[in-house]
């Protein structure tokens, strides 16, 4: 299972590629594609998926019996990093630089001196203005780097670096001849895809770490890899759904984009995407709005996103009593602020489900004086009016260019999702 996760991470260097890798996983498991926005005719025992706006993936299975029920697992396809700006080429002192901007709450210093590449969607001129050609693209090789300033030029570097998001974090991409101007980047991009620069209308390009994930530890008990937040959750959700078909009701996996920047987009969790999906499913099963409302009232949404693990070098950053450790199971996350979805009843349900299936689990809460992050669970459950709970695998170095987790925790998360979606 863990090697499958590492392969999936390699195949998913951008949210668009995450959706495509998930689509391939589902297709191999016998799921049938549906066109988003078109009416669907669904059958008992059917397994289906659809994509929305390129970077959101929605999949579901329909029970083989007529008894209804609804369970949803949700995660996100995006991850912190950098995005390439429009008109990105910068010719400066013989160097070719690429103008980028931070995406999400990344740790800037973790991106320095690393081999980086680019992947995402390129938009080409089509037959008319409203019919552009969408091209999924990955350079798939080391291409850029953001070199650190030498310590001889910054004697206080080891006392804490002050990195400017614009001036310090511009990747180096090329050595240029003097007569070559800022258009070098677009020209290179066009050559890579076999088009002319004037054919490229726009792009959404993700800067990613061009390094493979790996096992480490004296007994191979850890995984060190980019994009563990949140591809661990994406892979666990898809693997669990693909591995079985429930006898009763509808089982949904909803993978949204843009969680790292607030989810308030057309393909984010704080949109009408999930309500529209459920309405389309119930129409396709010849059920009505009252049937959906009844199932929502009795249903459950599991929001799956990475959690903070106890750091052995910074134990004082953890809550006194909720201190999840790597290798001790998946994490049930709670927050009075509802930055994590859940209440006493929902967390008890998930704890009991773990106990029934002998799945190790632990709890997380933020220190009261250190506000933590948030995720998509509360937004998605509020849109639907459905009970929800946030869970995930514990990580160290969350939002670093390369993060750390325990092998066994991914197994625990996948087992929980398999039990939940059965």
What tens digit of pLDDT does each residue of 58-69 get?
999 999 876 789
The helix/strand/coil state of 178 is coil
Query: Is residue 220 assigned to a domain?
Result: no
Answer yes or no: do 364 and 278 share one domain.
yes
Considering 182, 209, 236, which residue would you say is the last residue of a domain?
209
Query: Is residue 396 assigned to a domain?
Result: yes
Q: Give the whole-angstrom CA distance, residue 116 versus residue 222.
A: 23
Domain that holds residue 27: 2-79+227-420
Cα 179 → chain centroid: 41
Predicted TM-score (pTM) of this structure: 0.96
What pLDDT does residue 65 have?
A: 78
Answer yes or no: do 252 and 361 share one domain.
yes
Number of domains in the chain: 2
Is the distance from CB of 13 to CB of 29 less than 8 angstroms?
A: no
What pLDDT does residue 161 have?
A: 80
Answer yes or no: do 85 and 75 share one domain.
no
Answer yes or no: do 307 and 397 share one domain.
yes
Answer yes or no: do 132 and 238 share one domain.
no
The first and second tokens of residue 419, run together, are 């039990």
Query: Is residue 214 assigned to a domain?
Result: no
Mean pLDDT, the chain, rounded, equals 96
The helix/strand/coil state of 145 is strand
| % the chain with pLDDT above 70 | 100
Query: Is residue 215 assigned to a domain?
Result: no
Answer yes or no: do 286 and 323 share one domain.
yes
The first and second tokens of residue 134, run together, are 């969408």
DSSP string, 213-224: -EEESTTS-EEE
Answer yes or no: do 129 and 196 share one domain.
yes
Q: Give the whole-angstrom CA distance, residue 46 versus residue 61.
A: 6
Considering 209, 242, 264, which residue would you say is the last residue of a domain?
209
pLDDT for residue 400 is more than 90: yes
Q: For 74-114, write each residue's pLDDT tens digit.
A: 999 999 999 999 999 999 999 999 999 999 999 999 999 99
Read off the CATH number of the domain in which 284 is found.
Answer: 3.40.630.10
Query: Is residue 393 assigned to a domain?
Result: yes
The helix/strand/coil state of 29 is coil
Distances (CA, A) of 294 to 65, 171, 297: 18, 53, 5
Q: Give the whole-angstrom CA distance, residue 254 versus residue 383.
A: 14
Answer yes or no: do 308 and 354 share one domain.
yes
What pLDDT does residue 66 have?
A: 66
Number of CB atoms found within 10 A of residue 110's CB:
17
Read off the CATH number of the domain in which 188 is found.
Answer: 2.30.250.10
Answer yes or no: do 250 and 388 share one domain.
yes
What pLDDT does residue 234 have?
A: 98
**Burial per residue of 207-217, b for 16 or more beta-carbon CB atoms within 10 angstroms, e otherwise:** bbbbbebeeee
Q: For 255-302, write each residue's pLDDT tens digit.
A: 999 999 999 999 999 999 999 999 999 999 999 999 999 999 999 999
Query: Is residue 221 assigned to a domain?
Result: no
Number of CB atoms found within 10 A of residue 195's CB:
16
Query: Is residue 181 assigned to a domain?
Result: yes
Considering 158, 180, 209, which residue would you say is the last residue of a domain?
209
Answer yes or no: do 326 and 192 share one domain.
no
Answer yes or no: do 298 and 354 share one domain.
yes
Q: Give the whole-angstrom CA distance, residue 354 versus residue 370.
A: 29
Question: Which residues, at least 6 apart from 344, have a Cβ–Cβ distance to it below 8 Å?
Answer: none
Answer yes or no: do 266 and 378 share one domain.
yes
What pLDDT does residue 349 have?
A: 98
pLDDT for residue 208 is more than 80: yes
Element (H, E) at 81: strand 81-92
Is the distance from CB of 134 to CB of 20 less than 8 angstroms?
A: no
Model confidence at 240, pLDDT cuts 50, 70, 90, reads very high
- Mean pLDDT computed over 343-361: 98
* Helix axis angle, 228-242 to 15-28, nearest 10°: 20
Query: Is residue 219 assigned to a domain?
Result: no
Q: What are phi and psi of 345, to 5 degrees?
A: -65, -45
């Amino acid at each position: 299972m863990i090697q499958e996760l590492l392969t999936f991470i390699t195949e998913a260097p951008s949210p668009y590629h995450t959706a495509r890798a998930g689509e391939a996983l589902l297709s191999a498991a016998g799921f049938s594609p549906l066109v988003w926005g078109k009416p669907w005719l669904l059958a008992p025992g059917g397994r289906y998926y659809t994509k929305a706006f390129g970077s959101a993936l929605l999949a579901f299975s329909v029970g083989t019996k007529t008894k209804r029920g609804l369970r949803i697992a949700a995660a996100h396809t995006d991850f912190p990093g950098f995005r390439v700006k429009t008109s990105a080429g910068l010719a400066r002192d013989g160097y070719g630089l690429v103008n980028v901007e931070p995406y999400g709450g990344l740790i800037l210093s973790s991106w320095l001196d690393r081999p980086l590449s680019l992947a995402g969607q390129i938009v080409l001129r089509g037959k008319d203005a409203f019919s552009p050609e969408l091209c999924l693209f990955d350079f798939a090789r080391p291409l850029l780097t953001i070199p650190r300033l030498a310590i001889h030029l910054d004697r206080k570097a080891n006392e804490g670096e002050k990195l400017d998001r614009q001036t310090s974090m511009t990747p180096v991409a090329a050595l240029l001849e003097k007569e070559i101007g800022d258009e070098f980047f677009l020209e290179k991009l066009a050559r890579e895809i076999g088009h002319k620069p004037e054919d490229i209308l726009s792009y959404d390009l993700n800067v990613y770490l061009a390094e493979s994930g790996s096992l480490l530890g004296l007994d191979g008990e850890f995984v060190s890899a980019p994009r563990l937040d949140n591809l661990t959750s994406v892979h666990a959700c898809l693997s669990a759904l693909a591995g079985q078909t429930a006898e009763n009701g509808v089982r949904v996996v909803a993978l949204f984009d843009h969680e790292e920047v607030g989810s308030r987009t057309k393909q984010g969790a704080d949109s009408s995407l999930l309500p529209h999906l459920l309405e389309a499913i119930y129409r396709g099963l010849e059920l009505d709005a009252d049937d959906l409302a009844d199932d929502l009232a009795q249903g459950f949404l599991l929001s799956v996103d990475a959690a903070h693990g106890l750091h052995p070098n910074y134990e004082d950053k953890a809550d006194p009593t909720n201190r999840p450790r790597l290798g001790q199971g998946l994490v049930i996350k709670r927050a009075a602020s509802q930055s994590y979805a859940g209440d006493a009843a929902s967390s008890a349900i998930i704890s009991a489900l773990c106990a029934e299936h002998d799945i190790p689990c632990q709890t997380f809460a933020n220190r009261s004086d250190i506000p933590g992050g948030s995720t998509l669970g509360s937004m998605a459950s509020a849109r639907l009016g459905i009970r929800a709970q946030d869970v995930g695998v514990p990580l160290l170095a969350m939002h670093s260019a390369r993060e750390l987790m325990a092998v066994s925790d991914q197994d625990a998360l996948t087992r929980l999702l398999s039990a939940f979606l059965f």
